C-alpha cells in the first residue's frame, strides 16, 4: 500500500483526468483522436467495428477486501477484450468510466489505472476516452471495448451447424475455486483480523480469478490456420450457460463429454479441499474468459495439435436437447445454474 | 405511476434483457449486428467512427424525487448524442448499461427504456448493446454513443484561430433555473408532504432540465451551408467553463459580450424569482446541451440569418486572456465556477 494520500478533491475532475491520461501514447493507426475532446475518433479503414460494454459494481462484481485495485483495473479491461475476441475480432481501443467516492485517494486510483494500462499495453489497445465522476459510495466501473474485423468474418452465437465440433480453449472452473478460497479467508479475517491468510499453493486458481487473460492467441491462431469458427461465445457464466446460449440461438442440441472438459490439476486438487466436484466448477463456475466455439468437422485437423484447444462434444438436432455424458456413462440434461446455485450448495 | 409491480427477479437477467430489447428494429445500415451477442458490429463504410461515453449515478447526476424515469432515459441518451454532435458527427448507435436494485420493478425499468427508445427514434440511432446488472442501492446508468463523420471533418476543441467568431446555439441558463425550482419544491415537499408542487408557468425552464434536446439541426445546418466550424464543444458545465476549454486547448484568448448571450424570456423571469442574475446562470449553470463553436469570419454571412445561432464574441491572442464585456461596459476575466459555486451563493 502507498504511504502517501492525495485527496482527489485537490486535483478536481479535470486535473484528475489530466493526471490519469497524461502519459498515453496511442499505438494504433485506427486511434485517430484519443482522450481530451467531446468524443474519440476511430478509423478502421474498411474493416467493421465491434463494440461491447460491461458495468462492474463494487459489492456485486468485485470485493475490494481481497481484490487489489491494480488487478481490478487489469481485469476490467480483460473481460471486455474477451467479448471482442469472442466475435473473432481484434480489440483496438477501450473507453473507461469510473465513479469514485472520496474514500479513494489519487494513489488508489493510480493503482487501478496501472492495471488498466498494463492490460492495454499487453493487448495492444489504446485508452481513448471515458468519464470520471464522483460516486456517493461504492466504486463503479464501466468499460467499453472497440475492435475491428474483416467485413463479415465476425462470429455470432447463432450460426453453429448440426455435426459441428464443440471446442473450448484453456481450462475451466479454476476462477470459481479461487473465489471459494478468497471468500473463506475473508470470513476468517472478518472473525479474527489477526490471522494471516492461508493461500499457500493456490496461486493458480486465485490468479485465474484475480488476473484473467483474454484469448488473443486463439483468435490469432484462427487467422493463421484459416479456421472460421461457425459460432463462438466467451465463458463468463460457466460452460453450461454458454453452451445453452449457442444451442438456443443456433436452434440445435449438443452432446458434451465430461471426460473431455479441460480441467487443470491445480484446480482439481483445490476443488477437493472444498469437497466439490471439479466438473461442477467447470460447468457452473464462470469467470474463466475462455472461448467456447464450434467448427466444421472438416477443420478438425487444423486444430488437433493445438494444446490450448479441447474438443468437448458436438452439435446435434434440436429435438435431442443439450446433454452431458458423464465419465460413468450416464446422460444428463445440461442446465444453467451459475455461481449462486453452487454457492447455495456449498455454504 | 403504473399499478402493477413485476419483480425483476421473476424475469432473471436474460429474461429482462429479452423483455427490454425484443421490439428493437435497427434503422441504420451501419448497424450490422445489434443486441444479443458478445458484441455489436458496426460498419461505417469508409467514414470515421466517433465514440463517447457518460456515467450517470443516482444522487450525483439525478434525483429520482423529481426526475420521471422516462425523462431520465431520454436525457441519458441525449447527453451522449450531444457529445457526438459536438464533434460535427452524426450519431448512429447507442449502448446502454444499467445497474438496478430490487427497489425498481420491471414496470419502472420499462418507463426508463420508453424514454431511451423515444430518444433513439427521434434522433435516428439504434440501441445495439449494453449490460444489465443488479446494483446494491442506487440506479447506475452508463451510455456510450457512436457516430460517424466524413474522414477528417470532425471538429476538435483545440483548433480555433485568432479572429474567429465565437458562437452558441439556442439559449442558455434555463436548465439551471429549472433545477432551482425543483430543488425548492423538493425541500417544501420533504417538510410538508401534503403540499402540491407550485411549478405553474415554469414549464420552459423545467423542460430544459428534465428533457433536453441535442442540436442535430445545427450540425445538419453546417453540412447544408458548407460551414466547417474551427472548434466546437457542447455546453454541459456552463458557458464559462466551455469557453475556457476552447481558449486553453486552442491556446487563445477571447472577448465575450454579455449582451450577446442568448437568454430566453422565460428563463429571465424565472431567475428574477430567485433574485439571481440570468447572465450568471448562463455562464455557470450548465446542462444546456447547446453547442459552442468558432467559425472563420468569412463564414459569418452563411449563419447570420439562422435564428438558432448567436455570435457572442471572438477569439484573440492568448496573452489577452478570456474576458467578458458586461452590459455596463466593464471588463472581467472569465472564470469557471460551475453549479456548486452558484449553489453556494444562493442557498
Residues 12-41 in B contacting A (C-alpha not used; CB under 8 Å): 32-33, 36-41
Taking a C-beta distance cutoff of 8 angstroms, is the pair A237, A283 a contact?
no
- Give domain status of residue A154, yes or no: no
User: What are A63-111's pLDDT values in tens digits?
Assistant: 999 999 999 999 999 999 999 999 999 999 999 999 999 899 999 999 9
Please answer yes or no on whether B87 and A41 come within 8 Å at the CB atom: yes
Looking at chain B, which residue has its C-alpha nearest residue A42?
B49
Same domain, B130 and B184: no
CATH of the domain at B241: 3.90.650.10
Task: Report chain B residues whose CB lies below 8 A from the CB of A157.
Answer: 36-38
Please say if the pLDDT value at position B250 is more than 60.
yes
**Residue A143 lies inside a defined structural domain of this protein:** yes
pLDDT, tens digit, 9 for 90 and up, residues A294-318: 999 999 999 999 999 999 999 999 9
Nearest of B143, B145, B129, B104 to residue B10 by alpha carbon = B104
Residue B343 — φ and ψ, nearest 5°? Answer: -60, -40
| Domain match, A229 and A126 both | no
Question: How large is the average pLDDT for residues B98-120?
Answer: 94
Query: Is pLDDT at A280 greater than 90 in this prediction?
Result: yes
Measured CA angle at B35 (ends B30, B41), to 5 deg: 35
Contacts of residue A23, Cβ cutoff 8 Å, sequence gap at least 6: none
Inter-chain touch A55–B131, beta carbons under 8 Å: yes
Model confidence over A36-73: pLDDT tens digits? 999 999 999 999 999 999 999 999 999 999 999 999 99
Give the whole-angstrom CA distance, residue B242 versus residue B239. 5
- CB proximity list for A330: less than 8 A, separation 6 or greater: none
* Residue A89 phi, psi (nearest 5): -115, 165
**C-alpha cell of B232?**
466546437
* Closest to B95 measured CA to CA, from B68, B116, B109: B116
**pLDDT tens digits, residue range B68-85?**
999 999 999 999 999 999
**Whether residue B240 sits in one domain with residue B129:** no
At which residue does the C-alpha cell 427497489 appear? B103
Which cell goes with A46? 474498411
Question: Cβ–Cβ of B50/A40 closer than 8 Å?
Answer: yes
What are the tens digits of pLDDT across the range A128-168? 999 999 998 889 999 999 999 999 999 999 999 999 999 99
Residue A341 contacts B where some CB pair is shorter than 8 Å: no
Chain B residue numbers with beta carbons less than 8 Å from the beta carbon of A38 are 52, 83-84, 86-87, 157, 232-234
- Say how far apart CA B260 and CA B311 lie, in whole Å: 7
Tell me: do B97 and B123 sit in the same domain. yes
Last residue of a domain, one of A149, A176, A205: A149
Give the chain B residue whose CA is nearest to the CA of A45. Answer: B46
Residues of A within 8 A of B232 (CB-CB) are: 38
CA distances from A186 to A66, A67, A178, A274, B289 (A): 7, 11, 12, 15, 47
> Which of B282, B315, B312, B245 lies closest to A38 in space, CA to CA?
B245
A203 and A341 in a common domain: yes
CA distance A234 to chain B (A): 8
Among B105, B122, B149, where does a domain finish?
B149
Cα distance from A249 to chain B (closest Cα, Å)? 9
Which of B44, B137, B140 is closest, CB to CB, to A55? B140
pLDDT of residue B83: 97
How many domains in chain B? Answer: 2
Look up the domain containing A120 and give its range: 8-149
Q: Do both B170 and B144 map to the same domain?
A: no
% of chain A at pLDDT higher than 70: 96
**A1 found inside a domain:** no
Instruction: Give how far A34 is from chain B: nearest CA, Å.
Output: 10
Most B CBs within 10 A among A144, A241, A242, hence the mutation to make, goes to A144
Strands A322-325 and A253-257 come out as parallel
End-to-end Cα separation, chain B, in angstroms: 32
Task: Kindly tell me if the per-residue pLDDT of A327 is higher than 90.
Answer: yes
CB contact under 8 A, B57 and A147: no
Q: What is the mean pLDDT of chain A?
A: 93
Tell me which H or E stretch contains A1: none
Residues of A in contact with B95 (CB under 8 A): 51, 53, 144
pLDDT at B17 over 90: no
Q: Which of A101, A120, A149 delimits the end of a domain? A: A149
CATH code for the domain of B92: 3.30.1330.10
> Which pLDDT value is given to residue B196?
76
Check whether residue B218 and residue B132 sit in a common domain. Answer: no
B37: pLDDT confidence band, cut at 50, 70 and 90? very high
Please identify among residues 42-81 of chain A the ones whose CB lies closer than 8 Å to any CB of chain B.
42-44, 46, 48-55, 57, 59-61
The label of the residue with cell 475518433 reads: A41
Q: How far apart are CA B175 and CA B27, in angstroms?
A: 31
| CA distance linking residue B56 with residue B77, whole number of Å | 11
- Does any domain span residue B245? yes
Global pTM reads: 0.93
Give the residue carrying C-alpha cell 459494481: A57
Helix (H, G, I), strand (E, B) or coil at B57: strand
At residue A198, does pLDDT exceed 80? no
Take residue B285 and report the three cell numbers written for it. Answer: 449553470
Mutate to test the interface with B, among A28, A38, A139, A291 (most CBs of B within 10 A): A38
pLDDT tier at B3, thresholds 50, 70, 90: low
Flag whether pLDDT at B232 surpasses 70.
Answer: yes
In a domain, residue B69? The reply is yes
**Residue corresponding to grid cell 425499468:** B109
* Residues A9 and A106 sit within 8 Å (Cβ to Cβ): no
Residue B1 falls within a domain, yes or no?
no
Q: What is the pLDDT of residue A3?
A: 65
In a domain, B109, yes or no: yes
pLDDT tier for residue A227 given thresholds of 50, 70 and 90: very high
Long-range CB contact pairs, A116-121, < 8 A, 24+: A116/A73, A116/A74, A116/A76, A116/A77, A117/A73, A118/A70, A118/A73, A118/A74, A119/A73, A119/A74, A119/A75, A119/A77, A119/A78, A119/A81, A120/A77, A120/A94
Mean pLDDT for all residues in chain B = 93
pLDDT of residue B2: 47
Does residue A271 lie within any of the structural domains?
Answer: yes
- DSSP class per residue in B85-143: HTTT-EEEEEEEEEEE-TTSBHHHHHHHHHHHHHHHHHHT-EEEEEEEEE-SSS-EEEE
* Mean pLDDT calculated for residue range B161-177: 98
| Option in B93, B99, B128 nearest A55 (CB) | B99
pLDDT at B343: 40
The answer to whether the CB of A290 falls within 8 A of the CB of A208 is: no
Tell me which residue in B57, B131, B232 faces A140 most closely, judged by beta carbons.
Answer: B57
Left if phi > 0, otherwise alpha if psi is -120 to 50, otherwise beta: which for A9? alpha
State which residue of chain B sits closest to A241, comparing Cα positions: B14
Rounded to the nearest 5°, which phi and psi values hold at B223?
-65, -45
Q: What one-character DSSP code corresponds to residue A153?
A: -
Amino acid at each position: 500500500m502507498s504511504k502517501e494520500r492525495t485527496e482527489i478533491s485537490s486535483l478536481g475532475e479535470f486535473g484528475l483526468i489530466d493526471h490519469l491520461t497524461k502519459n498515453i501514447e496511442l499505438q494504433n493507426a485506427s486511434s485517430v483522436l484519443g482522450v481530451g475532446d467531446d468524443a474519440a475518433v476511430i478509423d478502421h479503414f474498411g474493416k467493421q467495428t465491434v463494440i461491447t460494454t460491461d458495468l462492474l459494481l463494487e459489492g456485486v462484481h468485485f470485493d475490494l477486501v481481497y481484490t487489489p485495485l491494480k488487478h481490478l483495473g487489469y481485469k476490467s479491461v480483460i473481460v471486455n477484450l474477451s467479448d471482442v475476441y469472442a466475435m473473432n475480432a481484434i480489440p483496438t481501443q477501450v473507453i473507461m468510466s469510473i465513479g469514485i467516492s472520496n474514500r479513494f485517494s489519487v494513489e488508489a486510483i493510480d493503482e487501478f489505472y496501472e492495471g488498466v494500462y498494463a492490460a492495454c499495453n499487453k493487448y495492444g489497445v489504446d485508452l481513448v476516452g471515458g468519464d470520471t465522476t464522483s460516486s456517493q459510495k461504492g466504486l463503479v466501473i464501466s468499460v467499453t471495448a472497440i475492435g475491428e474485423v474483416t467485413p463479415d468474418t465476425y462470429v455470432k452465437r447463432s450460426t453453429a451447424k448440426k455435426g459441428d465440433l464443440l471446442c473450448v480453449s484453456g481450462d475451466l472452473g479454476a476462477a470459481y475455486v479461487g473465489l471459494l478460497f478468497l471468500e473463506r479467508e475473508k470470513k476468517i479475517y472478518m472473525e479474527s483480523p489477526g490471522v494471516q491468510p492461508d493461500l499457500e499453493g493456490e496461486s493458480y486458481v486465485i490468479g485465474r480469478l484475480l488476473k484473467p487473460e483474454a484469448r488473443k492467441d486463439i483468435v490469432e491462431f484462427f487467422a493463421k490456420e484459416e479456421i472460421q469458427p461457425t459460432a463462438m461465445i466467451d465463458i463468463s457464466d460457466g460452460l453450461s450457460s454458454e453452451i445453452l446460449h449457442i444451442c438456443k440461438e443456433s436452434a440445435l442440441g449438443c452432446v458434451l463429454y465430461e471426460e473431455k472438459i479441460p480441467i487443470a490439476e491445480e484446480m482439481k486438487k483445490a476443488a477437493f479441499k472444498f469437497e466439490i466436484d471439479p466438473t461442477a466448477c467447470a460447468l457452473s463456475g464462470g469467470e474463466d474468459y475462455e472461448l467456447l466455439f464450434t467448427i466444421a468437422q472438416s477443420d478438425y485437423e487444423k486444430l488437433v495439435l493445438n494444446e490450448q484447444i479441447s474438443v468437448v462434444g458436438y452439435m446435434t438436432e434440436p429435438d435431442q436437447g443439450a446433454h452431458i455424458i458423464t465419465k460413468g456413462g450416464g446422460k444428463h440434461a445440461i442446465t444453467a445454474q451459475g455461481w449462486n446455485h453452487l454457492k447455495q450448495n456449498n455454504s
